[in-house]
Amino acid sequence: MFHKSARFYDLIYGFKDYEKESDQIHALIQQHKRSEGNTLLDVACGTGAHIAFLNQQYVIEGLDLDDEMLNIARERFPNLTFHLADMCDFDLGRQFDIVTCLFSSIGYVGTVPRLNQAVACMEQHLLPGGVLILEPWIKPEFFTPGGVHARFVDEPDLKIARMNDSEVEGSLSILNFHYLVSTPEGVQYFTERHELGLFTHEQYLDAFSAAKLTVIHDWPGLMNRGLYIGLKGD
C-alpha cells in the first residue's frame, strides 16, 4: 500500500498531533480497562507514530502488513517486537490487555466479511477485561467522491506534493494519490491507489457484537471519525 511512499509518510502526516491523540487513547484505556496488566498490541501500527507516546505507559508490540512501514518502525524502536501480518488473519499465540487499530486503518480490510474477521481476530488477542480501541474510516454518508485534496512538504532538501482525487466503486472508496518528490538528486513522480471499505455505523456495531464485545461509540474520537471501544468480559 505504502511501498513507494513509506519513507515520506511521517512528513506528509506531520499535521497530526500524535501526542494529544495518544493522551486521549490512554485516558480511554484507563477508564474502561479491567484487566490488571499494561500490554498493548497496536494493529496496523505503520511507522509507530502513536507508539512513540503510548510506549511511555504500556509494553507494546506492533503489527502491520506493509513491510516498508514496519522497517521504519523497527528502526525507531529497535527494542520492541513487530509482526508482519494481515489484521484479518494473525495468531501471535498470546493475549494483550489492550488492542488498538488507529488512523482509520481498518478501512483497508475492504469488505464486511473481512471487517468481521479483523475484529474477531483482535478480540481473540484480548485478555479478559481487556479493551479494543478501533478508529473507523469515513462513513459512507460522509464520503464525497470527486473531492480533490493536497498535502505539501517544504524542507531545504526535500519538496513533496501529494495530490489525490477520490471515487466510489460499490462499497469501496478509492483514493488515487499522485506524488511529486524533489531532492538534490532530481524529481520523482509516482502514484498509489488506496482502496478502503465504506462501512456503516451499524456494520461496525455488528462486527463488535459478533465478536462478543460490549461496544461503546465515542464521538468525536480523535479526528471527528469517532472511536469504537470494545470491552471483553471477565
Inform me whether the pLDDT recorded for 1 exceeds 90.
no
Report the residue count for the chain. Answer: 234
Checking DSSP bridges between strand 227-231 and strand 214-218, what pairing results, if any? antiparallel
Q: For residue 109, give Cα distances in angstroms to 44, 118, 228.
A: 11, 8, 16
**What are the residue ranges of helices labelled H in 140-224?**
201-210
Q: What are 87-137's pLDDT values in tens digits?
A: 999 999 999 999 999 999 999 999 999 999 999 999 999 999 999 999 999
Q: What are 219-233's pLDDT values in tens digits?
A: 999 999 999 999 999
Domains of the chain: 6-139+199-231 (3.40.50.150), 141-197 (2.20.130.10)
Q: What are 24-41's pLDDT values in tens digits?
A: 999 999 999 999 999 999
The reported pLDDT for the residue numbered 134 is: 98
User: pTM of this prediction?
Assistant: 0.96
Q: What are 166-178's pLDDT values in tens digits?
A: 999 999 999 999 9
Inform me whether the pLDDT recorded for 184 exceeds 90.
yes
The reported pLDDT for the residue numbered 127 is: 98
Q: What are 128-163's pLDDT values in tens digits?
A: 999 999 999 999 999 999 988 999 999 999 999 999
